[in-house]
């Protein structure tokens, strides 16, 4: 396929990045659409224009409104929705008169919506990890497609730049989403006494390209076992790419020891030393990476997609309706609202309200109540965040109405136990600590024994989930669902997540009710259900409660040792907490402070000339520490306030 020669007319969008299409965006065979004309890019503090042929308003448009804007003499052979997991999908794509192809990537934060929505499309493509989930669920109309490509206009060799960094990681360091990867970054920071290590989440655009050109080795670790953008970018800039050996896709692009290096937990440091101590070998492998990755341009990736389109058209021609077209209206509304809840919660609420108007018959009472319960969850989902349990405000009139809806849903719906869970979350948030505690205690047996079915996962949006600050539960819930659906984890893993949250909520309730000993025991129980070694929402209040109660030093030290072992240095349990506990004179704390100093130095690019761009990581990390100290001040947990006591 030539650069602008496409065999099909394609309606493609949302098109938030021209690099995904490359020169193909200029082809008369492609029409693009977007939900906005400009996008604010927080990292660079700029508004960037988004070019497209068609624009739609996700707050009110239906999919038919996009089709109406097409030229009268131009009809697509196929419609490609470019990112089901991360862009708001207007209702109605299942009614498209043209074949539809959904592209699914970045799914771990919106898994359930993706799984429920695939049957609205004729065909879907995605990474290999997602295909494993789909195939396990019996969905056949799917194929692997690399969702990213090498962008030669933005990532390329810059002649004349010295490679001053030995080891670099440049990317997001969000604790909730990248907990596993952050433990690897700590291992890199421990090497900073021997090598120049740079860990950065503050380089963008040309600064980012320059940083990659100044790096000998770029460390990479994917989220889903996918061929992620960092691999394309680093290889194109001449850095030697290190990527995990169990990556599901790297072998289709680069070869271990020839054009990249694969590592595991046992050999990372050894391989880093080997390639840093053998510069000719390192440069040879890196140069091969430049050559290999140059072949995988957007045009090349689109050529792969063109090979799939005949399969999409065959599915479209073989059936009269897509399965989602035949779904009951209330199910459609639940699926659409869930998909929109993260990006356009207001539109999600509108869809649920409209569906309730269509369920006016007495026999539809159950469906209407289920829609109302989802509406409550979506509304709360907008405002919940990771520190909501210590930033409580008096209940509003709207919350009181929501409380009544969840009470009825918990009582009257077959899946009422899960609405009861949401009800307990809401009561805690509304400072109704005594009834919330009673409800949590009543819920415990069911949370331990009652399995969560695939159908119930479609009907309930579990709280707490947050948008303002990403809560641990969002990613952990969806990633655990993926493991359960592929048979890599038992269904009880989901119950354990809910039990962890239940005991954590109970700990906060006890603390606000001035029952610190019960709060300690509840938080220790929550710790036993955690699916990972650490959580600041448990350890920080737990340690402070134990200090208040004058627990024996050995008990406090045991909890503290688990905390500093489990909570990564890149977590928000940081230096302020460790310094405050130095009075315990634990050797582990002294080593933790030294490790923290090493990490700060790595993030700042220690011993690097001033001419090299520096990051804002140090100030960001220290701000996190001060912010956490403010949010979790002991006064907030020392007992109920006057207003809370009055209620």
Domains and CATH numbers, the chain: 10-148+299-326 (3.40.50), 165-296 (3.40.50.2000)
The model's pTM: 0.85
Angle in degrees, 0-180, between the axes of helices 128-136 and 472-485, rounded to the nearest 10: 60
Percent of the chain with pLDDT over 70: 78
- CA-based radius of gyration for the chain: 26
560 pLDDT more than 90:
no
Residue 256 three-state SS: strand
Q: What is the pLDDT of residue 556?
A: 80
What would the two tokens of residue 169 be?
């990681």
Nearest to 602 by CA among 618, 619, 625: 618
Residue 209: predicted pLDDT = 96
Name residues whose C-beta falls within 8 Å of residue 544's C-beta, 6 or more positions apart in sequence. 634, 637
Whether 375 and 353 have beta carbons less than 8 Å apart is answered as yes
**Section 435-449 average pLDDT:** 94
Give the model's pLDDT for residue 562.
Answer: 77
Residue 294 · residue 150 · CB < 8 Å: yes
Task: Yes or no: say if 112 and 133 are a contact pair by the CB < 8 Å rule.
Answer: no
Q: What is the pLDDT of residue 462?
A: 82
Q: What is the mean pLDDT of residues 564-575?
A: 56
Cis peptide before 14 (omega within 30 of 0): yes
H-run or E-run covering 11: strand 10-13
The predicted-structure confidence for 378-434, as pLDDT tens digits, reads as follows: 887 654 444 444 455 666 777 788 889 999 999 999 999 999 999 998 888 888 999
Is 338's pLDDT higher than 70?
A: yes
Averaged pLDDT score across all residues of the chain: 82
Q: How high is the pLDDT of residue 263?
A: 99
Nearest alpha carbon to residue 520 among 551, 498, 499: 551
State the average pLDDT over residues 339-358.
90
Cα distance from N-terminal residue to C-terminal residue, the chain: 70
Confidence of residue 245 (pLDDT cuts 50, 70, 90): very high
Percent of the chain with pLDDT over 90: 49
* pLDDT surpasses 70 at 486: yes
Which one-letter DSSP state was computed for residue 121?
A: S
Of residues 122 and 480, more confidence is placed in: 122
Ramachandran angles phi, psi of 46, nearest 5°? -140, 155
Under the banding of pLDDT at 50, 70 and 90, the label for residue 59 is: very high
- Contact present, 244 and 232 (Cβ < 8 Å): no
Beta-ladder partners of 379: none
Higher pLDDT: 46 or 618? It is: 46
Q: What is the mean pLDDT of residues 300-308?
A: 92
Which pLDDT belongs to residue 354?
93
- Here the tokens at position 437 are 């505690």
Host H or E run for residue 215: strand 215-219
Lowest mean pLDDT among 63-77, 307-321, 337-351: 337-351
Helix 587-604, helix 617-631: angle, nearest 10? 140
- Residue 444 CB partners (closer than 8 Å, separation 6+): 499, 502
| pLDDT in the model for residue 97 | 97
Output the DSSP codes for 340-370: HTTT-HHHHHHHHHHHHHT--SGGGHHHHHH
Q: Which residue has the higher pLDDT, 6 or 353?
A: 353
- Average pLDDT of span 29-39: 84
Smallest CA-to-CA distance from 133 within 628, 487, 571 is with 487
In this predicted structure, the answer to whether residue 639 has a pLDDT above a threshold of 70 is no
Question: Worst-scoring range by mean pLDDT, 141-145, 186-190, 305-309?
Answer: 186-190
Work out the angle at residue 29's Cα, subtended by the Cα atoms of residues 26 and 31, and round it to the nearest 5 degrees.
70
* Phi–psi pair at 78, nearest 5 degrees: -160, 150
pLDDT value at residue 596: 61
The pLDDT value given to residue 555: 86
Cβ contacts of 328 within 8 Å, gap of 6 or more: 367
pLDDT for 566: 65
Torsion of CA 175, 183, 483, 325, to 10 degrees: 40
- Average of per-residue pLDDT across 55-75: 95
DSSP H stretches of helix in 222-297: 229-236, 268-277, 279-293
- Please give the pLDDT value at position 395: 64
Q: Is the pLDDT of residue 44 over 60?
A: no
**Band of pLDDT at residue 440, cut at 50, 70 and 90:** very high
478 Cα distance to chain centroid: 9
Of the candidate ranges 176-185, 206-215, 268-277, the one whose mean pLDDT is the lowest: 176-185
Round to whole Å and give the CA distance between 100 and 515: 57
- Average of per-residue pLDDT across 148-165: 94
């Amino acid at each position: 396929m030539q650069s602008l020669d496409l065999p099909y007319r394609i309606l493609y969008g949302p098109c938030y990045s021209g690099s995904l299409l490359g020169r193909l965006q200029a082809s008369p065979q492609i029409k693009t659409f977007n939900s906005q004309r400009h996008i604010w890019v927080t990292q660079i503090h700029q508004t960037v224009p988004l070019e497209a042929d068609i624009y739609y308003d996700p707050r009110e448009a239906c999919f038919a409104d996009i089709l109406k804007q097409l030229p009268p003499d131009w009809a697509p052979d196929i419609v490609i929705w470019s990112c089901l997991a991360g862009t708001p999908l207007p209702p109605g794509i299942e009614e498209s008169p043209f074949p539809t192809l959904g592209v699914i990537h970045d799914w771990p934060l919106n898994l359930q919506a993706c799984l429920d929505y695939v049957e609205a499309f004729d065909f879907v493509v995605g990474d290999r990890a997602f295909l494993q989930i789909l195939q396990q669920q019996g969905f056949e109309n799917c194929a692997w497609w690399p969702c990213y490509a090498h962008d030669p206009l933005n990532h390329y060799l810059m002649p004349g730049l010295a490679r001053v960094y030995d080891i670099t990681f440049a990317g997001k360091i969000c604790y909730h989403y990248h907990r596993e990867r952050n433990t690897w970054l700590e291992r890199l920071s421990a090497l900073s006494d021997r090598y120049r290590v740079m860990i950065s989440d503050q380089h963008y655009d040309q600064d980012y390209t320059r940083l990659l050109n100044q790096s000998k080795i770029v460390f990479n670790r994917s989220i889903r076992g996918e061929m992620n953008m960092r691999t394309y970018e680093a290889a194109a800039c001449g850095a030697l790419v290190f990527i995990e050996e169990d990556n599901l896709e790297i072998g289709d692009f680069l070869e271990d020891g020839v054009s990249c290096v694969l590592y595991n937990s046992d050999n990372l440091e050894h391989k880093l030393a080997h390639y840093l101590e053998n510069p000719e070998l390192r440069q040879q492998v890196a140069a091969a990476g430049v050559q290999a990755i140059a072949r995988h341009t957007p045009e090349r990736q689109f050529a792969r997609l063109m090979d799939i389109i005949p399969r999409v058209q065959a599915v479209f021609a073989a059936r009269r309706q897509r399965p989602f077209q035949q779904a009951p209206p209330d199910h459609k509304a639940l699926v659409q609202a869930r998909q929109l809840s993260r990006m356009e919660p207001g539109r999600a609420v509108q869809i649920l309200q409209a569906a309730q108007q269509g369920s006016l018959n007495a026999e539809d009472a159950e469906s209407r109540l289920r829609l109302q319960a989802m509406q409550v969850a979506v509304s709360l989902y907008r405002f919940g965040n990771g520190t909501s349990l210590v930033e409580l405000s008096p209940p509003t009139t709207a919350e009181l109405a929501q409380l009544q809806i969840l009470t009825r849903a918990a009582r009257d719906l077959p899946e009422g136990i899960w609405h009861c869970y949401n009800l307990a979350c809401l009561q805690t948030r509304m400072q109704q600590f005594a009834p919330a505690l009673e409800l949590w205690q009543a819920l415990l047996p069911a949370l331990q024994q009652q399995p969560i079915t695939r159908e119930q996962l479609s009907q309930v949006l579990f709280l707490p989930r947050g948008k303002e600050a990403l809560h641990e539960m969002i990613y952990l819930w969806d990633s655990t669902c993926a493991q359960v659906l592929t048979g890599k984890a038992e269904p009880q893993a989901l119950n354990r997540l809910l039990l962890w949250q239940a005991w954590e909520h109970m700990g906060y309730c006890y603390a606000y009710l001035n029952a610190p000993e019960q709060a300690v025991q509840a938080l220790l129980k929550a710790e036993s259900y955690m699916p990972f070694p650490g959580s600041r929402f448990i350890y920080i209040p737990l340690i402070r409660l134990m200090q208040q109660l004058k627990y024996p030093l050995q008990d406090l030290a045991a909890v503290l040792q688990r905390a500093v072992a489990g909570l990564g240095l890149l977590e928000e349990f940081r230096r302020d907490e460790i310094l405050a506990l130095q009075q315990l004179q634990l050797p582990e704390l002294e080593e933790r402070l030294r490790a923290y100093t090493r990490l700060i130095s790595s993030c700042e690019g220690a011993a690097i000339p001033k001419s090299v761009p520096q990051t804002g990581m140090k100030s960001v990390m220290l701000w996190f520490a001060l912010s956490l100290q403010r949010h979790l001040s002991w006064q907030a947990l020392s007992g109920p306030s006057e207003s809370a006591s009055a209620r």
